[in-house]
A and B are shown apart, each in its own frame.
Chain A
Amino acid sequence: MRIPCPYCGERDAHEFAYLGDATLTRPDPAAAEAEQAFHDYVYLRDNPAGAHEEWWYHANGCRQWLRVARDTRTHAIAAATAARVSGEPA
């Protein structure tokens, strides 16, 4: 599998470290249901067959986090974009 890094170009998956689901949003810790929401956020994962969004870290390249759109059935990668947009607060 090769991931098209926006800075480095197409690179072998061995250069990357995988984090997981990029579709999750950190819950509001002040909300009433925060405890349950954080349990779900930390432990519960879907296992979709098909299109998925994932975090990959280009450890042996530009050392940037990427958001990768991958098909879990075919490993076809539709897009890879930098997780951090330059100019925005880190």
Chain B
Amino acid sequence: MADHSSHDPLAGIPFDRVPPSGDYGAGGAAGVSVATTDTPFIALVVARNGFAASVAGRLGRAFGVEVSDRASAAIGAASTVVGTGPGRFLVLSKIEPDLAGTLRALLGNEAAITEQDDAFVTFDLAGDKVPDLLAKGALIDLDPRVFLPGHAATTVIAHSGVTLWRVHESGWRLLVARSLEASFTRFLVASGAEFGLRLENGTAGRG
């Protein structure tokens, strides 16, 4: 039995507070699970003029993944490199506390590095119904036959700027500006309630 009814899953939850962990909407096995418990280290790499290909190559060799200068996610065991614009890459790492420093040492004068550890909330969405949920807020085609594992997009979902990529067959990762966590979580809960949604959050960020 879900903790929060499918009739009004957000009843009683202040609109400016992140909805608490729990089961929302339809009972039975959750069709979608949402977790914000993983807090990777994040940095933005912007290649200086003319160095995009070189930076992509260096990132690929350093993290053991195939990085190219386009909107895709190169997913490795501990690190992911996501293209967000020409010569722009978001790097996520589970194991590099000083990711920005590591990247500065790696790329030298070829790129500008900005630490983004606390800029984003990382939403990990899993389940076969994730594309149906996201379709309610997305402007792009996220059909699983079109948007394949490793594809990435920086776009708008539910009026919020989002960088998302498909991690594997039924797993999707979304980066949303941290200040929008409450409203974006509300969108996920309201849109996922019909499938049954399990939410797990509660980390307050590294701050």
**Same assembly:** yes
Give A residues with C-beta under 8 Å from B: 7-9, 11-12, 14-15, 60-64, 82, 86-90
The digit string for B96-110, where 1 denotes a CB below 8 A from any CB of A, is 000000000000000
Q: Whole-angstrom distance between the alpha carbons of A12 and B88 in the complex?
A: 22
**CB–CB A8/B87 < 8 A:** no
Least distance between A22 CB and chain B CB atoms (Å): 19
Q: Whole-angstrom distance between the alpha carbons of A9 and B49 in the complex?
A: 22
Q: Which of A60, A82, A88, A90 contacts B161 (CB 8 A)?
A: A60
Q: Which of B71, B140, B156, B161 contacts A7 (CB 8 A)?
A: B71
Q: Which of B50, B71, B156 contacts A86 (CB 8 A)?
A: B50
Q: Whole-angstrom distance between the alpha carbons of A64 and B69 in the complex?
A: 14
Q: What total of A-B pairs shows CB separation below 8 Å?
A: 49
Q: Whole-angstrom distance between the alpha carbons of A88 and B154 in the complex?
A: 25
Least distance between A1 CB and chain B CB atoms (Å): 12
Main SS of chain A's interface residues? Answer: loop
Residue B80, interface by CB 8 Å: no
Q: Whole-angstrom distance between the alpha carbons of A89 and B49 in the complex?
A: 7
Least distance between B68 CB and chain A CB atoms (Å): 12
Residue B85, interface by CB 8 Å: yes
Whether A11 touches B155, Cβ cut-off 8 Å, given contacts A60-B161, A86-B50, A86-B52, is: yes
The digit string for B108-119, where 1 denotes a CB below 8 A from any CB of A, is 000000000000
Least distance between A88 CB and chain B CB atoms (Å): 8
Q: Which residues of A contact B129 (CB under 8 A)?
A: none
19 more contacts with CB within 8 A, not counting A8-B71, A15-B139, A86-B50, are A7-B71, A7-B86, A11-B140, A15-B155, A60-B154, A60-B155, A60-B161, A61-B85, A62-B71, A62-B85, A62-B86, A62-B154, A63-B85, A63-B88, A86-B87, A87-B50, A88-B49, A89-B49, A90-B49
